[in-house]
Structures are given as structure tokens and as C-alpha cells.
Structure 1
Amino acid sequence: MNDIEKKYLEETETIDYSHPVIQDKVNELKQKSLSQLHYIENAYRFVRDEIPHSWDIRSEIVSRKASEVLINETGICWTKSCLLAALLRANGIPAGISYQSLARTDDEGHIIHALNTVFISEFHKWIRLDARGNKENVHAEFSIDEEKLAYPIRSQLGEVDYKDNHSDLDERLIMILKNSKSILEVTADFML
């Protein structure tokens, strides 16, 4: 592993994988996994399927970091991506965060969507996974061969897939979460 990949294993304020609740979930997922690749898939499916997206359930709870997503049992894509990164990093798997700028459904600007990057050591490559959570018209899947993300980019609406790889949640998003009393008031209408 090179120095660049090592930064994708570091603990951060939002990717707080040494928190006991994260460690408990890591141990549970390890017991259910037959290999590292199977662990990645199990962690992905857990975050995607077992942690509801706050907007989908109209929860006002603001989960600001990975451990809070587990404790609160809900989060938006920004912090769900932190949770998946924490579960992977805690097991020695490099993981990061990637972004898309998506058109809002109310035609009022764009929103920032977060998903994950994961280094698959078995194949020596980075892939992207989107654990946002599936619902009607939103369907993401675990795949190491082709991306199956929640949102296909609609360039005619000015949407952008940055195809980037960051070792932590963007500081602007962290500040928005810190300053929000309700997740339903959270918005990020800027380009990264």
C-alpha cells in the first residue's frame, strides 16, 4: 500500500471508526463474512439497507458522523458514506468519499450527493459504491465490474459526477451539519 492509500485508512472526526458502536458493528460484520470482499459487500448492504436515509423517513435527526448514524439509525448520504468508510477503514480497507452535484426535484438549484470509493486489494483497483439507500426510482447495487450508483447523471440538467476521491467529508458539508438543528433544513447548493 502506498502513502496515498494510507490516508484512506485514517480516522477523522466524521469517520470515527474507533468508537465502540462502530467496533461492535465491525466485529458483527466480520463474523458474517467469508473474505475481505464479502466483508465489503456485507458492510455496503448493511449501510444501504439497514440505515434509512433521513429524507426518506422524514426524520429531523442530524447525524453528523459515522458513529451517530449507527446510534441514531439514520443519516443522509453524506454521513452514510462516512459510516461505510468507517466500517471499511476499521477493517484495514482503504475507503473514501466521492461526490455528485444533482438537480433538485423542485428546480431550485443543485444538491451535493455523497457516495464511497473503496480500494479492492484483490483486484488492485478503486471502485465506487453508493449506499444512499434504494427506493422507487433510486436503485444502487454492489458491483466491482461496473458502477451501479443511485443516480445516473443528467447532464442536460447541469448535473456533475466528479468521479473524485476524498479521504474525508468536505469541510463545507461538515459545517452545514454542525450548524443544522434539523436534517430537513440541510441544503448544499454549491459546486465542489
Structure 2
Amino acid sequence: MPQLTAVEPSAYLSGDDVVDSGHPAVARLAADLRTRHAEDDAFARGAFEHVRDRIRHSFDADDPRVTVTAPEVLREGVGLCYAKAHLLAALLRAGGVPAGLCYQRLTDDGKTFVVHGLVAVHLHGTWHRQDPRGNEPGLDAQFSLDGERLAWPVRPDLGERDHPVIHVRPHPDVLAALRSTDDIRTLRRGGLPSDLHLP
């Protein structure tokens, strides 16, 4: 796990127009999850499993709809890894658990790269990265506070890397890609960011 960089945890409790933790539908689901899972750990796990298992990954579902904001993802039931991360972060924040957005730079062949979106949750005084992308054969991401259980561990020998910053808001490069088209297949054909422009 990389050394993560974050601001004060309280900064990761407020919503915005994408990680919209105040939207009524998001708040209702967070409240329902809280009713079933009173402790923070159990609530965070419940929110993670809801997004991982009940929101389909766009590529897995072969669904052309592009969702960006947490309410859109919840309403449509589908999204890319970034969009699913937006919903999970919004649910966690609505439930009072600090949550930020993280990214990895991954590859299949060592030549073509793509940015992958994750969530970091702040529990027990530290940050824990979680991957709500959705499992399929060969992928087994699990909620974990004791060692990471991500879909794809980084392979530095292939040029992969973790971006160490925990973002309060989605990265502008990610939002630009998602908002560049209304057909997810365009993004699948090379429209996803290959890296992030960092300040």
C-alpha cells in the first residue's frame, strides 16, 4: 500500500455536485444502510458491498449510458469505476464516515495505460482504500480494514503506479473524460485518461 496523502478527515465529509451526499435518494439509502449497520465499520462495509454488487460496471454490463454524479449512478444502476466511487464516497459521507477518491494507473500490456478509480475510507484513525468496481471472474475485491483487497494490485515492473493523493473532489481529468461523451463505448475505445495531470 502506498503512503497516502490527505488533508484533515473532516474535509472528506462534505458533498459537492458530483459526490452529492446531500441528494435525497443518496441520503435515504445511507440512512437505510445505517439502520441495518449501526457501527461505522459495518456501515462502511454495507455501503461498499451495495455499490460493488448492486451497481453494474458499465463495461461488464455492456451498457452505453454514461453516469457521473452519485445520484445518477444510483438512479441508473450502472457506472464506470469512477462513477461507482462517486456513489460510494457520497453514501459514506452521508453516513458520517470520511471518504475520499483515489486513483491507480494500470495496464494490460505495459504500453497502454488507463486510470482506475478507488475510494479511501477513514476509520480507526487511518485511511483504507477500497475498490467498488465490481467483481467478475478473476477479480475479487473485498472490503478490508486489515490489508488491501483491491481488484488490481499495482505492478511497478509494468509501469503501473498508485497515485498517493486522496482527493476530496473527483479529479478534473476524470470528469472531463466522463463528460466528453454520452456513449460509454467511446470511452472504451481509448477515451479514458491514461494518467492524471497533477499540480
Do Structure 1 and Structure 2 share a fold, with TM-score over 0.5? yes
Is the Cα–Cα contact under 8 Å of residues 95 and 118 in structure 1 kept in the other structure? Answer: yes
Number of aligned pairs?
A: 187
Is the Cα–Cα contact under 8 Å of residues 104 and 111 in structure 1 kept in the other structure? Answer: no
Does residue 81 (structure 1) correspond to residue 82 (structure 2)? The answer is: no
Measured after TM superposition, the shift of residue 92 of structure 1 is 1.3
Provide the rounded CA distance (Å) in 1 between the counterparts of 2:11 and 2:52: 24
SS in 2 for 1:128: strand
Does residue 111 (structure 1) correspond to residue 134 (structure 2)? The answer is: no
* Alignment TM-score, normalising by the size of structure 2: 0.89
Q: Which runs of 4+ in 1 moved over 3 A?
A: none
Measured after TM superposition, the shift of residue 163 of structure 1 is 3.1
Measured after TM superposition, the shift of residue 108 of structure 1 is 5.6
Name the counterpart of 1:165.
Answer: 166
> Percent identity of the aligned residues?
33
Counterpart code for 1:190: D
Name the counterpart of 1:182.
Answer: 183
Name the counterpart of 1:99.
Answer: 103
Provide the rounded CA distance (Å) in 2 between the counterparts of 1:13 and 1:93: 18
Is the Cα–Cα contact under 8 Å of residues 48 and 131 in structure 1 kept in the other structure? Answer: yes
Provide the rounded CA distance (Å) in 2 between the counterparts of 1:182 and 1:111: 18
Is the Cα–Cα contact under 8 Å of residues 78 and 114 in structure 1 kept in the other structure? Answer: yes
Which of residues 60, 66, 72 is equivalent to 2:70? 66
SS in 1 for 2:167: coil
Counterpart code for 2:13: L
Name the counterpart of 2:57.
Answer: 53
Does residue 18 (structure 1) correspond to residue 12 (structure 2)? The answer is: no
Counterpart code for 2:116: H
Measured after TM superposition, the shift of residue 189 of structure 1 is 1.8
CA deviation map 1:66-103 (0-9, x unaligned): 11000010011101111010001011111001110011
Does residue 156 (structure 1) correspond to residue 161 (structure 2)? The answer is: no
Alignment of 1:115-154 (within 5 A): 115-120=118-123, 123-154=124-155
CA RMSD of aligned residues (A): 1.5
Is the Cα–Cα contact under 8 Å of residues 67 and 83 in structure 1 kept in the other structure? Answer: yes
Name the counterpart of 2:4.
Answer: none
Is the Cα–Cα contact under 8 Å of residues 141 and 148 in structure 1 kept in the other structure? Answer: yes
Counterpart code for 1:138: L
Provide the rounded CA distance (Å) in 2 between the counterparts of 1:64 and 1:131: 15
